[in-house]
Amino acid sequence: MGFKCGIVGLPNVGKSTLFNALTQTAAAQAANYPFCTIEPNVGDVAVPEPRLTKLAEIAGSKEIIPARMNFVDIAGLVRGASKGEGLGNQFLANIREVDAVAYVLRCFEDGDVTHVEGRVDPIADLETVETELMLADLESLEKRKVNIEKKAKTGDKEAKEALTLIDLALAELTEGRPARKAKVPDDKRRQWRMLQLLTAKPVLYIANVDEASAADGNAHSARVVEYAHGEGAPAVVISAKIEAELALLDEDERAEYLETLGLPEPGLNRLIRAGYDLLDLQTYFTAGPKEARAWTIRKGWTAPRAAGVIHGDFEKGFIRAETIAFDDYVALGGEAGAREAGKLRQEGKDYVVRDGDVMLFKFNV
């Protein structure tokens, strides 16, 4: 599994520039990694993972296959979009399908790029976007509530549970708060997700700054970071213009350009990591002569469930997982060295996979 992140924002905030940087990065990666274009508005990008290259060197792998993630460019969001302004509700279906939503916020001054609201105020932009999503959620819930109330009155247990969750969401939304603020019981999380609320999805904030502010941010981005901190959400400061330029350079030129800007790595790398942290994702590896590959799973998953990401039969017929910690794999020169040193562990069904584990699954179907 990877994860799908929707990119939303008002016009002229740099959303398209950022998305173009992502898709250009994906196109550049196509020379080295398996790549497919899903849709014109979806960028399928390899997750940066330096550990994978090291594993491939040690295992003598012919191919390196990174984990993937999708960025979805969600168009049509302007003030009044929930009521049909701009491209209207065209953006709603795309947002419902994503795992997280990234708000691109304009944090740069440029007289040549007009702002739809006539000013640069990233927090006001954020509130406009959030309001449109909340209005869309309100309308959706109010329409569904009528039918579910009828079913609940007949004693339908599922309808009663759904009605409780709908009322919980409506209580937040009518107070001007997104649905993700609701306190949902752990045993109701699955039903809550089935409501497909736009504002129940986790969010991260992207402060799009000018080139001169890429390394240290500016006053506008500082407001975004402060706001995100108060929300317990991640914020990433990026210059979309720089990212678009980086995407067109080869590896050596990219490193040189980053050095001149005082940046240790592309902002897109930080964006991907922020997304992983937001959704509690982590990586485990498989490595051998044929390929070295990264697999994305959620933190807390057991070995059989992690095996199921490769193939359902691996999970169904799981016997055990031969497991080596990444650091041990590298320090001891691979599987053989780890086995001799007693660092290759036989883990069973209850083992909770750790980030960086190098695994070989034994199964029988």
What confidence tens digit (pLDDT) does each residue in 78-120 have? 555 555 554 445 566 777 888 999 999 999 988 766 566 667 8
Tell me the pLDDT of the chain averaged across its residues.
87
Joined together, the tokens standing for residue 131 give 């309001």
pLDDT for position 122:
95
Count the neighbouring beta carbons within 10 Å of the beta carbon of residue 259. 10
Using the predicted structure, report yes or no on whether residue 322 has a pLDDT greater than 50.
Answer: yes
Nearest by Cα to 269 from 57, 14, 12, 21:
21
So what's the pLDDT on residue 113? 62
> C-alpha dihedral over 216, 110, 220, 24, to 10 degrees?
-60
Can you read off the two tokens belonging to residue 90? Answer: 């065209």
What would you report as the CA-atom Rg of the chain, rounded to the nearest whole angstrom? 23
**Residue 93 structure tokens:** 């279906």
Q: Which residues pair with 281 in a beta bridge?
A: 298
With 70 as the cut, is the pLDDT of residue 343 above it? yes
Task: Extract the tokens encoding 298.
Answer: 């959620």
Report the percentage of the chain scoring pLDDT > 90: 59
Point out the least confidently predicted range of 91-100, 102-111, 144-153, 198-207: 91-100
Of residues 61 and 34, which shows the higher confidence score?
A: 61
pLDDT higher than 50, residue 159: yes
Give the residue-averaged pLDDT of 66-88. Answer: 66
- 219: tokens are 């006053």
In the predicted model, what is the mean pLDDT of residues 155-182? 93
Asked if residue 66 has pLDDT above 50, the reply is yes
pTM score: 0.85
Q: Phi, psi (5° rounding) for residue 230?
A: -65, -30
* pLDDT higher than 60, residue 37: no
Statement: residue 15 has pLDDT above 90: no
What pLDDT is recorded for position 28? 44
Counts of helices then strands in the chain (DSSP H, E)? 14, 12
Separation CA 361–CA 124 (nearest Å)? 51
Report the interhelical angle of 267-278 vs 15-29 (nearest 10°).
100
Helix ranges, the chain (H) = 15-29, 50-59, 90-96, 122-153, 157-174, 189-194, 219-231, 240-246, 251-261, 267-278, 303-310, 312-316, 326-331, 335-340
Cα–Cα distance between 305 and 318 in angstroms, integer?
9
Predicted local distance difference test score (pLDDT) of residue 248: 86
Q: What is the pLDDT of residue 109?
A: 87
All residues at 6 or more sequence positions from 215 whose CB lies less than 8 Å from its CB, including other chains:
261, 262, 263
Residue 46: which pLDDT band, with cuts at 50, 70 and 90? Answer: confident
Distance (Å, whole) CA 43 – CA 27? 9
Q: For residue 16, name the pLDDT band (cuts at 50, 70, 90).
A: confident
* Portion of the chain with pLDDT greater than 70, in percent: 88
